[in-house]
Amino acid sequence: MHPVCVPGAQVRCDCPGGDLGAQQCNTVGTGFEACQCLARVQPAVTPTGLAYVAAPPPRGAPTAEQPTHWYGWQILIVDLAAITLASASLGVGSTTGYYTAGGLQLLGGPIVHWSHGRVGAGFGSLGLRLLVPVAAGVLGSMKGTTGLLVGASLGSLAAIVVDIAALANEPAQARPAARVGAWSPTIALTPREFGLGVVGTF
């Protein structure tokens, strides 16, 4: 016995692999649409009787990736400035400049994150820049003072790379369309003079 096709009603259908699907009656009641097998189906009660509808996807199921915007170049500029200042300070023997560069390297990245409204990423950047160089320096200290300095430097570089590559991504927001300039000619005609001109918007 074929089910009665009532517009909007759904009936069960079989899918490849033994899964269940659902067919929906078209809007004019002349027949059922193709079997939908994209998701498991579950029974539901409708005004026309028992029908089968697609079950909602499980909680936590992956969704389409949201577009992101990378602003790591801003952090890179700050870090390059800190490295340049530190190198110049060492060259002239300026302790103040060297410590200033260290503070810029430690806080520059987090400040950039916070300026983008990403508080968690900012504190994550701060933790990376503080803990990774310390841990690498401690490991390097087993080889003496030189190992300490080399380990801390490599740890600092690793923290910068991870910060720029992994943390400096934010959800992309729709940007307003660029305003297009327009122009039009004007004519001024009076009993005593005649003028031509151009009016534009940019």
Q: In this predicted structure, what is the pLDDT of residue 107?
A: 95
Those residues with Cβ within 8 angstroms of residue 38's Cβ, 6 or more apart along the chain or in another chain: 54
Residue 78 domain-assigned?
yes
Please give the tally of structural domains in the chain. Answer: 2
CB 141 within 8 A of CB 148: yes
Evaluate if residue 178 carries a pLDDT over 50.
no
C-alpha to C-alpha distance for 62 and 54, rounded to whole angstroms: 17
Beta strand residue intervals within the chain, DSSP E? 10-14, 20-24, 41-46, 49-54, 68-70, 169-171, 182-189, 194-201
158 and 84, same domain (yes or no): yes
Greatest CA separation for the chain: 96
Express each pLDDT in 60-105 by its tens digit.
444 556 788 999 999 999 999 999 998 999 889 888 988 999 999 9
Residue 33 belongs to what domain range?
A: 10-54
CB 68 within 8 A of CB 171: yes
Residue 193 domain-assigned?
no
Integer CA distances (angstroms), 134 to 70, 75, 123, in order: 28, 21, 17
Evaluate if residue 174 carries a pLDDT over 50.
no
39 and 73, same domain (yes or no): no
Residue 178 domain-assigned?
no
Residue 74 domain-assigned?
yes
116 and 160, same domain (yes or no): yes
CB 110 within 8 A of CB 122: yes
Integer CA distances (angstroms), 166 to 57, 69, 154, 155, in order: 29, 12, 18, 16
* CB atoms near residue 21 (< 10 Å): 21
At residue 160, the 3 state secondary structure works out as helix
pTM over 0.85: no
Task: Calculate Rg over the CA atoms of the chain.
Answer: 33
Residue 91 domain-assigned?
yes
Residue 195 domain-assigned?
no
Stretch (H or E) spanning 72: helix 72-92
142 and 77, same domain (yes or no): yes
> What's the mean per-residue pLDDT of the chain?
78
128 and 161, same domain (yes or no): yes
Q: In this predicted structure, what is the pLDDT of residue 51?
A: 53
At residue 121, the 3 state secondary structure works out as helix
Question: Which tokens go with 184?
Answer: 């039009």
Q: In this predicted structure, what is the pLDDT of residue 118?
A: 94
148 and 81, same domain (yes or no): yes
